[in-house]
Amino acid sequence: MADKNARTFHAGPLRIRVSAPGPAPRPAPKERLTAERIVDVALEVMAADGYEAASLRRIARELGTGPASLYAHVANREELDQLIVDRVAAQMPTPVADPERWDEQLKQFMRDALDVYRAHPGSARATLGMIPAMEGSLRAAETLMSLCLAGGVPAQAAAWFCDLFGLYIGAVAVEESIWVDRARDAGADAPDHSALDGQLGDYFSSLPPDRFPLLSSLAREMVTGDGEDRFEYALDILIGGLKAYSARG
């Protein structure tokens, strides 16, 4: 929608700039300000420089205004966070439930949901403590419910599963985005998991066996597996647990 602006972010220090020397060489606001444009820019800044960089002041600067101007369209930081999460959640798929393979559909939905967060690094950080009350989050919950019910999961168990799903996916996405931000701060493109796992493995191995008999002897098991392996494991646990719970009433 306002993606024309995207190219100008992070263009590095401008070499040539024909304008009088003055305090703020920022572009004049061409288009009218809207909540949509504010969310666009928030997502762009988050993707470029991480969650913490996407402050109201920074967003205003990118839009060529002062921070006070945003308050005509967004009540406060919290409301902006809600709009961001809603925009992202709206991109999650809405499969039609098939009772023959609801469990695989449910797993796939969770993979897709995580990938949507990954495509907007940092957005998940606004997720925790938020009531899913806007369009996008409601659609995701409706989808989740339809898949669970297609599998014969009791309504109450399905409803609570939405909660558990949100908490778990949110936590994974938040954690990943913290790692991504840290890597960027360190000048890397992405976190170097294998290097880190090696170090961590050595550390666990070196723990005193009398006080940490299991961690020191099972150091390898503690550190093996990247994000994907651990996520697939968690999916098995969650869906297996859901089936067992449903089966025994």
Partner DNA sequence: ACCTGAACACCGTTCAAGT
Print burial letters for 95-124: b (CB count within 10 Å at least 16), e (below 16): eebeeeebbebbbebbeebbebbbebbbbb
Which listed option, a second copy, DNA, none, makes contact with residue 113 (CB within 5 to 8 Å by class)? none
**Window of 9-17, 68-76, 106-114, 189-197 that interacts with DNA by CB under 7 A:** 68-76
Backbone φ and ψ for 104, nearest 5 degrees, come out as: -70, -35
Of the two residues 64 and 227, which places its CB atom closer to a second copy in the complex? 227
> Which residue in 1, 68, 131, 195 binds DNA (CB under 7 A)?
68
182 binds DNA (CB under 7 A): no
Q: Is 32 in the site for DNA (CB under 7 A)?
A: yes
Extended beta strands in the chain, E state: none
Of the residues 1, 11, 18, 72, which one makes contact with DNA according to CB under 7 A: 72
Q: Which among a second copy, DNA, none contacts residue 239 (Cβ within 5 to 8 A by kind)?
A: a second copy
- 180-193: burial string, b at 16+ Cβ within 10 Å, e else: bbeebeeeeeebee
Determine if 184 is a binding residue for DNA (CB under 7 A).
no
Q: Report what 4 binds from DNA, a second copy, none; CB cut-off 5-8 Å by kind.
A: none
Sequence-separated (6 or more) residues with CB below 8 Å from residue 16? none
Of the candidate spans 55-63, 98-106, 190-198, 231-239, the one that interacts with DNA by CB under 7 A turns out to be: 55-63
d(CA 105, CA 173): 20
Q: Determine if 25 is a binding residue for DNA (CB under 7 A).
A: no
- For 49, the token pair is 């420089």
Q: How far is the CB of 56 from DNA (least distance, A)?
A: 4
Dist CA 183 CA 25 (whole Å): 31
Residue ranges in contact with DNA by CB under 7 A:
29, 32-33, 53, 55-58, 64-69, 71-73, 76-78
